[in-house]
Structure 1
Amino acid sequence: MTSKIALVTGATQGLGLALVEGLAARLSTTDTVYLTSRDAGRVAQAVEAMPAGGAEIRGEVLDVAGPGAAGRLAERLAERHGGVDIVFGNAVMRVGPDDDPREIVDAYAEVNNFGTTRLLRAFAPLLRDGGRFLVVASSFGTLNHLAPALHDRFDGLSSLDEVDKQVAAWRDAVKDGSARAGDWPGFVNIPSKIGQVAAVRALAAQRREDDLARDILLAAVCPGMMNTPTSALWWDVRDAPSPAQAAADLLELVFRPADPAQYGELVRHGAVLPWAPVPPKID
């Protein structure tokens, strides 16, 4: 039996760290989970602190904001293992209530959006039969949270290049201030998450037939509200699940049979969130 290979980005804290621990606990001792992040010191510390038992946990430095970084790591893993079985795209730049969107949007889009499309380009071709590629997004990642006049920016895109082009246009509008005078929401997390889900949908449209035949699931996932320091800057999260509890829900998508209805969609607690507003019924 071929050993399973898993990779988690943004994995030195919070949800990413919990996903690594959960994967290692549920995989076998012959399997490997790659814990990745951009800081070598934090990667080493996180690997060292992992509990013993289960799959081997190996650290790798991966800055998804760096052009070519995801591709180079994908080449190394392909040489070592021949492919990958599980990928969680979890790298994220967080934004606080006091951050000026114009000042942070460059770095924000580079990590959250272009980092996502780089990861998809690099690792989706390496997925083996039965593979899972899950991009961590949020319930903000649907057109329901965007003004109707902007829906066509992200709806029906057929390539990752098209997604990158639309994300770049939004980023530039935030930077030059024109987004504030238009229909774009002020909370940069909303267009960014929509861009992530649009990227999954665009790639899924190209790969659907072959992936479903090979029991591969490509989807965006919403972990729901979590009790983390960053979320606490925006909301009251005292009663929200911990990252470990949220991770357990996402891991179910890895270890249960793939549901074709979830392919290419945004999934929360096992249910598909509609990408576009549902038209009202006319009696």
Structure 2
Amino acid sequence: MTIALVTGATQGLGLALVEGLAARLGPEDTVYLTGRDIDRVTAAVATIPAGGARVRAELLDVGSPGAIEKLAHELKERHGGVDIVFGNAVMRVGPDDDPRAIVDTYTEVNNFGTTRLLRSFAPLLRDNGRLLVVASSFGTLHYLAPALHHHFADLPDLDDVDREVAAWRDLVKDGTARATAWPGFVNIPSKIGQVAAVRTLAAQRRTEDVARGILLAAVCPGMMNTPTSALWWDVSTAPTPAEAAVPLLDLALEPADPDHYGQLIRYGKVLPWV
């Protein structure tokens, strides 16, 4: 019996991941579709075609301290562990948003939500499990000035990742980030922080996880044709969320490649960190 969980799953890529898992898994398996609004979660579950795995609605606001830990405890009690986790919850930012006004909530969801997910669900992974954090190609140090690389390179612990993200967040909030080498597009440091979190935890768990067939990685779905992406770029020819979900589902369900462990993966290939 496979137990899978997708965060941020009421629309877009998250919903496509749930649909794909439900279609590829069997009736003895369970996929948890989660989100922070129970009405939207329930409505999303109702859209999943019948057949395949059972899809269950679960309320989860990753930006709420304690919520992820609570759900992890409940799933451990119900199932003893989990097999597949997609961390897809995200607060999106538009061109007209003032970074100073939104960065608190933005980092609470995107970054601290990611580290909470890693802390709570990595210990629950069963043999051959998958914990995949949806990030972006912006999550490589290539997009950060070299003078800033030390903030996210080779951090020893997830607490250190949180501290670096919080320090950057505070610079954005008080406006001083604009006078430094930090990029104005908050998505870049945030995505780098997500990938750094995966790399940090992977460095601690690598030997045992690889021996057990577990894959812990960040994943980049590539550009997608979604309303949010359309605010920034021309995405008229980009893949749909359902199309973008396919290589992510392959990572979750096919045998793990040890070379993918702890890396940022796009279309089955490793994106260099530096």
| TM-score class, shorter | over 0.9
How many Å apart are 1:257 and its aligned residue? 1.0
Structure 1: which 5+ residue stretches go unaligned? 277-283
Partner Cα separation in structure 2 for residue 6 and residue 201 of structure 1: 22
Partner Cα separation in structure 2 for residue 115 and residue 255 of structure 1: 24
How many Å apart are 1:249 and its aligned residue? 1.3
How many Å apart are 1:131 and its aligned residue? 0.1
Partner Cα separation in structure 1 for residue 272 and residue 47 of structure 2: 39
Give the match's secondary structure for 1:65: coil
- Determine the structure 1 residue equivalent to 2:45: 47
Question: How many residues end up aligned between the 2 structures?
Answer: 274
Partner Cα separation in structure 2 for residue 270 and residue 249 of structure 1: 7
Q: Which amino acid aligns with 1:153?
A: H
Q: Which amino acid aligns with 2:138?
A: F
| 1:163 equivalent in alignment to 2:184 | no
Give the match's secondary structure for 1:140: helix
- Determine the structure 2 residue equivalent to 1:281: none
Q: So what's the TM-score if we normalise by structure 1?
A: 0.96
Q: Which amino acid aligns with 2:75?
A: L
Select the residue among 12, 16, 19 that pairs with 2:17. 19
Q: CA RMSD in A?
A: 0.4
- Determine the structure 1 residue equivalent to 2:126: 128
State the identity %.
Answer: 75
Q: Which amino acid aligns with 1:150?
A: L
- Determine the structure 2 residue equivalent to 1:137: 135
- Determine the structure 1 residue equivalent to 2:30: 32
Structure 2: which 5+ residue stretches go unaligned? none
Select the residue among 133, 148, 158 that pairs with 2:146. 148
Partner Cα separation in structure 2 for residue 4 and residue 256 of structure 1: 13
Give the match's secondary structure for 2:114: helix
Q: Which amino acid aligns with 1:118?
A: R
Give the match's secondary structure for 1:261: helix
Runs of 4 or more, structure 1, over 3 Å off, are none
- Determine the structure 2 residue equivalent to 1:256: 254
Alignment of 1:90-105 (within 5 A): 90-105=88-103
Q: So what's the TM-score if we normalise by structure 2?
A: 1.00
Partner Cα separation in structure 2 for residue 98 and residue 66 of structure 1: 25
Output one character per residue of 1:184-233: Cα deviation in whole Å (capped at 9) or x when no partner: 00000000000000000000000000000000000000000000000000
Partner Cα separation in structure 2 for residue 59 and residue 256 of structure 1: 25
